[in-house]
């Protein structure tokens, strides 16, 4: 699959990274000689952040090319994304050029945050709005507006690169999310202009309170809870009248002049000027990754999107005649004060490998739901080499024994070609209702026996049968 | 310390939980016979969520009492929090009653989301606004408005219970955060009323996109990044003109009538009606806990608040003549598909215990910053008993050996009086610049030798020196 990215700014770069890291070839069209430098900077951020959302490796990166000529970039593309400046005349000039060069089945998306499809399509290009959110390589939301069939095809493709398409059924200036953002922006500018609060205080008012609520449930579900068992109608009865309270009168627009710009810029420097934009971006990405990963457990919001996407990623094969049970990138949140992966996450990687091996022998989610599982009873971890954020890990699983209730595994954790750790682990099959050991289902036993037979002739691994402190 | 909570609804209950779980005695005043039931429900949620933010146990809970009589509850309180309905006449009746019963040094906070102190103090009670955010036991933000000296004293107390006081320097209707919320609420109601989007779609537009940004940086810092290296003034120049674009004209207030209430309530039922309010609360709390924990690594926003608060929590003592190196509650995010704590987090608890022991021998943050540390080379985990979300863990650390570069520890993980696991671990002292083993600083060696001597006569622990699969 090939994506053409027309316009190589922060948003275009984010789109390029999203497609590229999901295995697409990406052709960037931008006459700006700085485009390659700018896109590379976005890609640097994306490569350390996006794979860290997943507990499984993304497909190999596609091929990235740069083109001064738009038609060369667009030809043969399955998706063309226009991210040129938010000026209607510019979009009216570029979109027909894209339509001319693109094949008949290519989807043409515009990153416009404000214009309606009817405005964009005044020149008949068949483009739809595909409005993403910065950083495009991490935030799943894309607002789709335009022809219903095209939006449906677009949604399918975007889900394939881990995004969350939200189809807006009726076109409107600024779609949905930016209307809400604009409302807050107006109010925030008033608060700063009137000297009520600084930019830093407003940011604290958001991130120490409702920002945390909104990251996982949004506005209405949060208020539904506030209404208690009596529900949303009760909440509306309580809160609705506030619509006519005095503060709702402050809705005109502050005058946009140099004084206002200076005021905001000066306060912003005081608040965040100790960090460069690059440092702020990385801080943001680390936080966003960690929070989305945190949401994976319940499956709420972006956490659910990542988990669904991960399930569709390709399986790994074999290594040294052993099944590869984990391939993944190390998120920065797995590292500690020593500047390397903390010991805990060696066992986490091994635990994920064991989970995968259990699936392979049929002890999968359905089996566990039927009341049977394996419990780990002991593990021995040998740390052989350091691992750092961004490293790619591969874990192989060797069966040392697997008869009756016992399952004895040896997981090797590789950092590229370096053996980073071994984890020897013993599990016992358990009845989840009595919490006592029990024999596995015959189908599980049969599959496990196959693996035992395949691994029987392998030499005993170096590091197995060791006690702590034993000389190698 | 004693807090009196006047008004036992969701907000009053949240305040009660926040104080109680931080070791304060709490007296609730509410004539409603349902108050105790309601507060108990909030406390059930708080007990499973608030301690899960921390990697260290909170102080023992204070004493909780219920009072139909306001004066009885308020007498002797250091903090009195008024959370009665948002009706000015009611607040004017209750606040003087509180002031009469409270001692001269008590702080009187009002949970009002909309009224200014000048409105509340029309009757001369000395109250300040202390406006929290639901769930009060998890979200750190409290807006303080009123007398500067009282606000300063209040801020100190609130930091002590893990909150983030934001002092609003100039009183204004709805303070700061609710002005922003109100702006979004108006815009969201328009979107629903005009049929542009459903409540569910608006929630997705928030939580799949900017909600995640705001949970960690807020509005202005996010836009600073969007401005790139050119900074905030550049962003303003790009985005500022939008203030006069057409969609900003839609700022009048939708008529609040039964049709609007029905529309919102029906959509909310379709969106979230499959979960009870209690289930939604627990989902929200699990998500909020996991996201705030995720922010602890970088220290952004609420993550930094928790870490600072944790550092001020009291130290644990000894158990079985061994130092207690961890006391903590198990967060639900530590459990897995088997309904119990995942193996990974046994090693995490042990790793935290080892960190604490390193601090005790002087291998602390300063020492590590000077370029020296201990690296774990191997560990053996024996899982003896299951651990569940909400369980209290205690970890003790025994030194098996500690000479030269070697540090050989044995950590026991207790669930109350049940030994849940043992972790035997070997560490080597390492030079962080060469990444090679090295001898510790003499001061560290001396402190370690003391511990070696103290533990020398202890019998070898059951479980040490084991290989995987060895019979007990």
- CA B339 to chain CA centroid, nearest Å: 24
Contacts of A179 in chain B (CB under 8 A): 187, 191, 247
Is B434 part of the contact surface with chain A (CB cutoff 8 Å)?
A: no
Long-range pairs for A150-156: beta carbons < 8 A, 24 or more residues apart:
A150/A107, A150/A126, A153/A107, A154/A79, A154/A107, A154/A109, A154/A128, A154/A130
Interface contact B202-A211, CB threshold 8 A: no
Contacts of A279 in chain B (CB under 8 A): none
A335-390 per-position pLDDT tens digit = 999 999 999 999 999 999 999 999 999 999 999 999 999 999 999 999 999 999 98
Q: Chain B residue with minimal CA distance to A279?
A: B225
Both tokens of B119, joined, read: 């409105």
Pairing state between β A128-132 and A107-110: parallel
For B174, which of A166, A199, A247 is closest by C-beta distance?
A247
B433-449 per-position pLDDT tens digit = 999 999 999 999 999 99
Is B236 part of the contact surface with chain A (CB cutoff 8 Å)?
A: yes
What is the model's pLDDT at position B249?
39
**How far away is chain A from the Cα of B202, in angstroms, using its nearest Cα?**
7
pLDDT at A425 over 90: yes
Measured CA to CA, the distance from residue A351 to residue A407 in angstroms comes to 14
Interface contact A164-B204, CB threshold 8 A: yes
Mean pLDDT score, B108-126: 89
Question: What's the sign of the alpha-carbon dihedral B175, B180, B185, B190?
Answer: positive
Mean pLDDT score, B246-251: 46
Closest listed residue to residue A189, CA positions, set A104, A83, A262: A262
**How far away is chain B from the Cα of A76, in angstroms, using its nearest Cα?**
31
Q: Is B7 known as a binding-site position?
A: yes
Is B211 part of the contact surface with chain A (CB cutoff 8 Å)?
A: yes
User: Can you tell me whether residue B389 is helix, strand or coil?
Assistant: coil
Q: Is B12 known as a binding-site position?
A: yes
Contacts of A411 in chain B (CB under 8 A): none
Closest listed residue to residue B339, CA positions, set B351, B329, B330, B326: B330
What is the model's pLDDT at position A91?
94
A155-171 per-position pLDDT tens digit = 999 999 999 999 999 99
What is the model's pLDDT at position B251?
55
Is B247 part of the contact surface with chain A (CB cutoff 8 Å)?
A: yes
Mean pLDDT score, B340-351: 97
Measured CA to CA, the distance from residue B447 to residue A315 in angstroms comes to 50
Contacts of A243 in chain B (CB under 8 A): 185-186, 189, 253-254, 256
Measured CA to CA, the distance from residue B281 to residue A307 in angstroms comes to 22
What is the model's pLDDT at position A247?
45
Contacts of B193 in chain A (CB under 8 A): none
Closest listed residue to residue A132, CA positions, set A253, A61, A265, A42: A42
CA-based radius of gyration for chain A: 27
Instruction: State what percent of residues in chain A have pLDDT above 70.
Output: 95
Q: Domains of chain B (ranges plus CATH)?
A: 2-175 (3.40.50.720), 178-274 (1.10.1040.10), 318-455 (3.10.129.10)
Interface contact A468-B226, CB threshold 8 A: no
What is the predicted ipTM? 0.88
A310-328 per-position pLDDT tens digit = 988 887 889 999 999 999 9
Mean pLDDT score, B206-225: 91
Mean pLDDT score, A237-263: 62
**How far away is chain B from the Cα of A75, in angstroms, using its nearest Cα?**
30
Interface contact B208-A376, CB threshold 8 A: no
Which whole-number Å values give the CA distances from A418 to A393, A394, A409, A415, A424, in the listed order? 10, 10, 20, 5, 18
pLDDT at A256 over 80: no
Is A464 part of the contact surface with chain B (CB cutoff 8 Å)?
A: yes
Closest listed residue to residue B238, CA positions, set B224, B249, B252: B224
Task: Establish, for the pair of chains A and B, how many residue pairs have beta carbons separated by less than 8 Å.
Answer: 509
Is A380 part of the contact surface with chain B (CB cutoff 8 Å)?
A: yes
B24-35 per-position pLDDT tens digit = 999 999 999 999
What is the model's pLDDT at position B91?
94
pLDDT at A250 over 70: no
Measured CA to CA, the distance from residue B31 to residue B37 in angstroms comes to 13
What is the model's pLDDT at position B240?
59
Q: Is A463 known as a binding-site position?
A: no
Q: Is B126 known as a binding-site position?
A: no
Question: What's the sign of the alpha-carbon dihedral B274, B280, B282, B285?
Answer: positive
Q: Is residue B437 within a helix (H) or strand (E), and if so which, with residue range?
A: strand B436-437
Q: How confident is the model at residue B264 (pLDDT cuts 50, 70, 90)?
A: confident
- Span of A23-37, A290-304, B233-247, B301-315 with lowest mean pLDDT: B233-247
Measured CA to CA, the distance from residue B184 to residue B8 in angstroms comes to 29
What is the model's pLDDT at position A251?
55
What is the model's pLDDT at position A233?
77
Mean pLDDT score, A263-289: 86
Q: Is A176 known as a binding-site position?
A: no
Helices marked H in A77-176: 88-101, 117-120, 148-160
Q: Chain B residue with minimal CA distance to A295?
A: B287
Instruction: State what percent of residues in chain A have pLDDT above 90.
Output: 73
Mean pLDDT score, B239-249: 51
Measured CA to CA, the distance from residue A123 to residue A91 in angstroms comes to 10
For B297, which of A333, A435, A465 is closest by C-beta distance?
A333
pLDDT at A223 over 80: yes
Q: Is B209 known as a binding-site position?
A: no
**How far away is chain B from the Cα of A372, in angstroms, using its nearest Cα?**
9
Mean pLDDT score, B272-277: 84
A97-111 per-position pLDDT tens digit = 999 999 999 999 999
pLDDT at A248 over 70: no
CA-based radius of gyration for chain B: 27
Is B41 part of the contact surface with chain A (CB cutoff 8 Å)?
A: no
What is the model's pLDDT at position B246?
46
Instruction: State what percent of residues in chain B have pLDDT above 70.
Output: 95
In degrees, rounded to 5, the angle at the alpha carbon of residue B117 between the alpha carbons of residues A242 and B93 is 80
**How far away is chain B from the Cα of A106, in angstroms, using its nearest Cα?**
26
Contacts of B216 in chain A (CB under 8 A): 207, 211, 284, 287-288, 291
φ, ψ for residue A5, nearest 5 deg: -110, 115
A contact residues 280-339, partner B, Cβ 8 Å cutoff:
280-281, 283-284, 286-288, 290-295, 297-298, 300-302, 305, 333, 337-339
Contacts of B419 in chain A (CB under 8 A): none
Q: Residue B437 forms beta bridges with which residues?
A: B430
Which whole-number Å values give the CA distances from A255 to A189, A223, A344, B224, in the listed order? 10, 33, 54, 20
Both tokens of A427, joined, read: 């599990």
Measured CA to CA, the distance from residue A282 to residue B372 in angstroms comes to 27
Is A405 part of the contact surface with chain B (CB cutoff 8 Å)?
A: no
Both tokens of B265, joined, read: 């309530």
- Span of A294-303, A353-362, A378-387, A425-434 with lowest mean pLDDT: A294-303
The answer to whether A381 and B347 have CB atoms below 8 angstroms apart is yes
**How far away is chain A from the Cα of B75, in angstroms, using its nearest Cα?**
30
Contacts of B139 in chain A (CB under 8 A): 208-209, 212-213
What is the model's pLDDT at position B248?
44
pLDDT at B276 over 90: no
Q: Is the pTM of this model over 0.95?
A: no
* Mean pLDDT rounded to a whole number for chain B: 91
pLDDT at A246 over 70: no
In degrees, rounded to 5, the angle at the alpha carbon of residue A176 between the alpha carbons of residues A172 and A178 is 105
Q: How confident is the model at residue A153 (pLDDT cuts 50, 70, 90)?
A: very high
Which whole-number Å values give the CA distances from B380 to A410, A425, B346, B402, in the listed order? 14, 10, 11, 18
**How far away is chain B from the Cα of A300, in angstroms, using its nearest Cα?**
8
The answer to whether A448 and A404 have CB atoms below 8 angstroms apart is no
Instruction: State what percent of residues in chain B have pLDDT above 90.
Output: 73
> Where are the strands (E) in B103-247, listed by range?
107-110, 128-132, 141-145, 164-167
What is the model's pLDDT at position A124?
82
What is the model's pLDDT at position B247?
44
User: Can you tell me whether residue B391 is helix, strand or coil?
Assistant: coil
For B173, which of A173, A246, A252 is closest by C-beta distance?
A246
Contacts of B238 in chain A (CB under 8 A): 86
């Amino acid at each position: 699959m090939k994506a053409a990215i027309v316009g190589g700014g922060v948003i275009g770069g984010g789109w390029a990274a999203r497609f590229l890291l999901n295995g697409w070839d990406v052709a960037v069209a931008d006459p700006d000689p700085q485009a390659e430098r700018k896109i590379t900077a976005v890609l640097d951020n994306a490569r350390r952040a996006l794979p860290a959302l997943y507990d499984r490796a993304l497909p190999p990166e596609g091929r990235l090319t740069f083109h001064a000529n738009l038609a060369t970039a667009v030809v043969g593309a399955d998706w063309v994304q226009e991210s040129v400046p938010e000026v209607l005349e510019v979009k009216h000039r570029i979109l027909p050029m894209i339509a001319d060069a693109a094949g008949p089945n290519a989807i043409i998306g515009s990153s416009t945050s404000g214009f309606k499809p009817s405005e964009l399509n005044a020149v008949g290009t068949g483009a739809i709005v595909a409005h993403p959110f910065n950083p495009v390589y991490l935030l799943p939301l894309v607002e789709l507006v335009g022809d219903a069939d095209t939006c449906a095809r677009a949604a399918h493709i975007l889900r394939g690169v881990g995004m969350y398409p939200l189809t807006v059924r009726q076109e409107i200036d600024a779609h949905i999310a930016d209307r809400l953002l604009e409302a807050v922006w107006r109010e925030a500018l008033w608060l700063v202009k009137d000297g009520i609060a600084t930019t830093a205080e407003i940011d604290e008012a958001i991130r120490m309170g409702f920002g945390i609520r909104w990251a996982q449930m949004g506005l209405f579900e949060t208020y539904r809870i506030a209404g208690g068992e009596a529900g949303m109608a009760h909440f509306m009865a309580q809160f609705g009248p506030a619509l006519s309270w005095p503060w709702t009168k402050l809705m005109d627009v502050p005058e946009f002049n140099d004084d206002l710009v200076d005021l905001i810029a000066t306060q912003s420097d005081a608040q965040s000027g100790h960090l460069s934009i690059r440092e702020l971006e990385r801080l943001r990405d680390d936080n966003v990754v960690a929070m989305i990963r945190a949401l994976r457990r319940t499956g709420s919001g972006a956490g659910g999107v990542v988990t669904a996407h991960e399930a569709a990623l390709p399986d790994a094969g074999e290594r040294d005649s052993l099944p590869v049970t984990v391939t993944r990138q190390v998120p920065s949140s797995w590292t500690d004060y020593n500047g390397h992966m903390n010991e805990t996450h060696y066992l986490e990687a091994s635990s994920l490998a064991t989970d995968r091996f259990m699936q392979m022998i049929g002890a999968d989610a359905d089996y566990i739901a039927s009341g049977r599982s394996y419990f780990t009873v002991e593990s021995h971890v040998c740390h052989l080499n350091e691992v750092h954020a961004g490293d790619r890990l591969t874990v192989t699983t060797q069966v040392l024994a697997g008869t009756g209730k016992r399952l004895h595994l040896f997981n090797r954790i590789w950092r590229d070609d370096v053996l980073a750790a071994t984890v020897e682990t013993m599990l016992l099959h358990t009845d989840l209702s009595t919490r006592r050991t029990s024999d596995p289902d015959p189908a599980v036993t049969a599959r496990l026996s196959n693996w035992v037979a395949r691994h029987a002739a392998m030499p005993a691994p170096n590091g197995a049968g060791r006690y702590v402190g034993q000389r190698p």
